Structures are given as structure tokens and as C-alpha cells.
A = this chain, B = another copy of it.
């Protein structure tokens, strides 16, 4: 009999997030599962790594085919800890999420959830990030099962191209059922008017990051368009940031 695949799970909403619990429930029937997740909320931590202070992971649950660690690190730290220290073999798959809130379009660059996925791909491990378009702590994940399992099984069976990982976003629940899955491009969108200005009790000015998401991308094949049309969006991502088409065109000699 073939050995069960080892699936490493993390997220950026912290170890108590309902989205993480949902993902654990969906992955356990598919293989041996190790969870390495952060004690604190790591939303917006992007690809940060902890270099100024040490990491102290703790094993908090162990059952047949299941281990759960809590850490004081970032999502990227968690993948590195799993790969290099806590697991006795390289994971066959990394999944991250299910994020409370969209990681479509430019959000991917700020996301700890997606950083974990990119980090795994650097080490050649197939990896998928799942996000739901509902950032509320009590978001309803009841409609996601089939989509998450379908995509995960296909990646377990077929793998992914070298250096490529998947960014999967799922529409929030509504009276209209999700129509299907679309493989897309990252939309060209951004955040504008980003800070609220306030005064502290001592009259000093402070700013709190907020803002408004603006998508000016009218192309048909973007993740934002697929999601607006009530499809699950799948964007293949790479950790090579080179703008290849300009390598031969720029000249600073």
C-alpha cells in the first residue's frame, strides 16, 4: 500500500481561527496531517521571517496521523520550522488558510497565508493557499468543502509545475451557488486613501491603516472578475519576481 501523503497546514489568522479548523477537517481524510500555526494573528505579515529573536514551537496535540504545533513565529517561519526541524520527512503538500478575507489580486503581496504557500514552493513542495471572501471571525465556511477537496486532490495526484503554487479564492456564501472554478491572472488592483488620521488622548496625531480597494482592471481573465461572477478563482503564482520581458530591454551601462 502506498504511504499516505504528509500534508502540512498553516495560516495567518492564528491557531484558533475557524478557517484553519475547517481546513484541518477537510485535509485529515486525505493524508497524515501536521499543523504548525502561530499563536498570534499574523494577518498582513507577508513573507516576514523572525531573525532577531528565537522560535519556540510547542507540540499541543498528537493523535494517529495528526500533530499540531503552536509557534511564536510568522507563517513563513512555520513552513521553515516544519521543513527543517519539526517533521521527520518533507511534506508532500502544504496548504494554508482558509484565510478569513480575500487574497485575490494585490492582496497576495501583503498576505501571510500566501507567503507560507510561496515559501513552500521555494523548497519545491506543491502548495495551495485558500481564502474566503469574508474577513469576519465568524465567516460561514459551509459551502467550501467540495471546492477545497477537489483542488487539493488534483494537486496531490498531479503535482504542480516547478516553482509554481496556487492562490485559491472562494466567493462568500450567498443564495446563489458557486458556479465553478476558473484559472485566472492576478488583477491589477490596489488600495487607495489608506489611512485614517486621529488624535490620541495627548493630542498627538496617529494613523491607522485602512482604505478602499480599487480594481481598475477590466480584463476578463482576472481573479477579481471570476469572483465577481461567483466562481472560485485559481491563480498560479511564482516566487521568481523577475519582469522577464524587460531583462533584454533595459540598459544601465
**A31 close to chain B: CB less than 8 A:** no
Distance between Cα atoms of A55 and B45 in the complex (Å) = 16
Residues A161 and B243 in contact in the complex (CB < 8 Å), given A46-B49, A49-B46, A250-B236:
yes
- The interface-forming segment of A87-95, A136-144, A170-178, A201-209 is A201-209
**Which residues does chain B contribute within 8 Å of A77, judged by CB atoms?**
209
Distance between Cα atoms of A241 and B47 in the complex (Å) = 14
Nearest neighbor of A221 in chain B, beta-carbon distance: B247
Nearest neighbor of A167 in chain B, beta-carbon distance: B241
Residues A115 and B46 in contact in the complex (CB < 8 Å), given A206-B54, A207-B54, A237-B243:
yes
Whether A109 pairs with B209 at a CB distance below 8 angstroms is no
Distance between Cα atoms of A169 and B149 in the complex (Å) = 43
**A122 close to chain B: CB less than 8 A:** yes
Whether A183 pairs with B48 at a CB distance below 8 angstroms is no
Interface size in chain A (residues, C-beta < 8 A): 79
Whether B81 pairs with A206 at a CB distance below 8 angstroms is no
Chain B CB within 10 Å, residue with most, of A49, A161, A197, A234: A49
**A80 close to chain B: CB less than 8 A:** yes
Nearest neighbor of A161 in chain B, beta-carbon distance: B246
Whether B240 pairs with A85 at a CB distance below 8 angstroms is no
**A9 close to chain B: CB less than 8 A:** no
The 10 closest A-B pairs by CB, nearest first: A46-B47, A238-B243, A54-B206, A236-B243, A236-B246, A44-B49, A46-B46, A237-B241, A186-B242, A44-B51
- Show 24 residue pairs from A and B whose CB-CB distance is below 8 angstroms, ordered by the A residue: A41-B52, A45-B46, A47-B47, A48-B110, A51-B209, A55-B206, A55-B208, A56-B205, A56-B207, A76-B110, A80-B209, A84-B193, A84-B195, A109-B122, A109-B241, A122-B190, A150-B252, A161-B246, A167-B241, A181-B253, A183-B248, A183-B251, A185-B247, A238-B243
